[in-house]
């Protein structure tokens, strides 16, 4: 009888341990943002989403109006030491240089070939336009996409030695998934090139090409080698930055978002326009405060300057993410 009681007690204990483990696992799965630290920022995001998606809530928003827009550079993936699309363009110039001996004496190409990135950046808009024209224009859309895809497979970030499409923010990936699970349609609205981002956006973020809005150059329809193609032209179509972002949203999405996320003053107008609408609205700014795991920069940065946004976030009612304190991990490869 004693043996049977002991065996029964052991079985009961084992079952209780299994139930406790299952409950713990369920709790971990119930957290939609596990890489976010507990605190005001996470509470603000979850509180907003829950109140606008809960039936009977005075702030309920129908699913077809749940539009969320996200800047890309510095908001969904890193942007230091310079924008990744610029690094791609510089690499393409070096690759194309043997076919262009004149570049050895022409700026900004001469500085690129010498590795003088500071002088390249100092060439300003005119210099950057020359680089984009050389590396992005006068080719078919398919050729450009294949070039970008090939570059992403081999290029590595100078600090982490990781592929550039792994330099994405794990907490933001979770936020995108959480919003979509709650009936949101998520869009990228970025100053980056739309054709560049469409190459990796779906695989990296779960955002399909038709939900990517970005800067673009003009294009035309042609017949080449007997086949119809779209050819990229060396003329600006849309600069999807600052005041251009609400315009891009209007032209390509056709609805004012109820949720907008960015990290710089280039996103100011997008957040301003989003949160000025009727009903519940949410503006989110990512403040780069973690110089150890990423980079710490804001008001004086040459990339992703955040000055006016920091000054006005409080009075505009925008939530500011403190990367150092609000994120348990920054990149997916940091996850335990």
Report, as an integer, the average pLDDT of 254-262. Answer: 98
- Kindly list the domain boundaries of the chain, sorted by start residue: 37-80+167-334
For residue 228, list its beta bridge partners: 223
Q: Are strands 319-322 and 296-297 parallel, antiparallel or unpaired?
A: unpaired
Rounded Cα distance, 138 and 234, in Å: 7
As its CATH architecture, domain 37-80+167-334 has 3-Layer(aba) Sandwich (3.40)
Q: How far is CA 322 from CA 135, 158, 166, 190, 251, in A?
A: 36, 25, 21, 21, 32
Helix (H) or strand (E) holding 254: none
Q: How high is the pLDDT of residue 125?
A: 74
Rounded Cα distance, 130 and 141, in Å: 19
Q: How high is the pLDDT of residue 63?
A: 98
Q: What SS3 class is residue 231? A: strand
Residue 133, Ramachandran bin (φ over 0: left; ψ between -120 and 50: alpha; else beta): alpha
| 191-230 pLDDT tens trace | 999 999 999 999 999 999 999 999 999 999 999 999 999 9
Rounded Cα distance, 108 and 135, in Å: 13
In which band, very low, low, confident or very high, does the pLDDT at 3 lie, cut at 50, 70 and 90? low
Q: How far is CA 15 from CA 5, 8, 129, in A?
A: 15, 11, 67
Instruction: Annotate 260-305 with DSSP letters as a single string.
Output: EEESSGGGHHHHHHHHTSSS--EEEEEEEE-TTTS-EE-TT-SSS-
Global confidence as pTM? 0.89
Contact between 285 and 75 (Cβ < 8 Å): no
Report whether pLDDT(44) > 50.
Answer: yes
Q: How high is the pLDDT of residue 22?
A: 46
Q: How high is the pLDDT of residue 122?
A: 85
């Amino acid at each position: 009888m004693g043996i049977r009681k002991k065996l029964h007690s052991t079985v009961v204990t084992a079952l209780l341990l299994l139930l406790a483990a299952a409950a713990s696992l369920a709790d971990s799965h119930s957290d939609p943002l596990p890489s976010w630290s507990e605190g005001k920022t996470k509470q603000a995001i979850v509180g907003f989403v829950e109140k606008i998606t809960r039936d009977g809530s005075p702030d309920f928003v129908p699913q077809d109006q749940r539009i969320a827009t996200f800047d890309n550079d510095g908001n969904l993936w890193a942007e230091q030491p310079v924008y990744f699309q610029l690094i791609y363009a510089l690499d393409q110039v070096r690759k194309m240089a043997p076919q262009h001996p004149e570049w050895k004496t022409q700026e900004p190409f001469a500085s690129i070939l010498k590795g003088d990135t500071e002088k390249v950046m100092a060439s300003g808009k005119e210099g950057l336009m020359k680089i984009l024209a050389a590396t992005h224009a006068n080719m078919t859309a398919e050729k450009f996409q294949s070039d970008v895809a090939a570059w992403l497979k081999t290029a590595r970030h100078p600090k982490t030695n990781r592929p550039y499409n792994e330099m994405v923010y794990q907490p933001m990936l979770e936020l995108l998934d959480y919003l979509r699970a709650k009936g949101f349609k998520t869009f990228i609205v970025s100053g980056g090139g739309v054709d560049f981002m469409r190459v990796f956006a779906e695989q990296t973020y779960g955002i399909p090409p038709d939900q990517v809005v970005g800067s673009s150059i003009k294009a035309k329809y042609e017949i080449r080698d007997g086949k119809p193609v779209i050819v990229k032209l060396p003329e600006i179509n849309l600069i999807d930055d600052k005041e251009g972002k609400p315009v891009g949203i209007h032209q390509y999405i056709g609805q004012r978002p109820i949720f907008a996320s960015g990290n710089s003053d280039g996103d100011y107008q997008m957040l301003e326009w989003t949160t000025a609408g009727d009903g519940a609205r949410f503006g989110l700014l990512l403040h780069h405060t973690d110089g150890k795991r990423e980079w710490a920069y804001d008001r004086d940065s040459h990339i992703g300057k955040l000055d006016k946004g920091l000054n006005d976030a409080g009075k505009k009612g925008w939530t500011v993410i403190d990367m150092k304190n609000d994120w348990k991990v920054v990149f997916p490869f940091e996850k335990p």
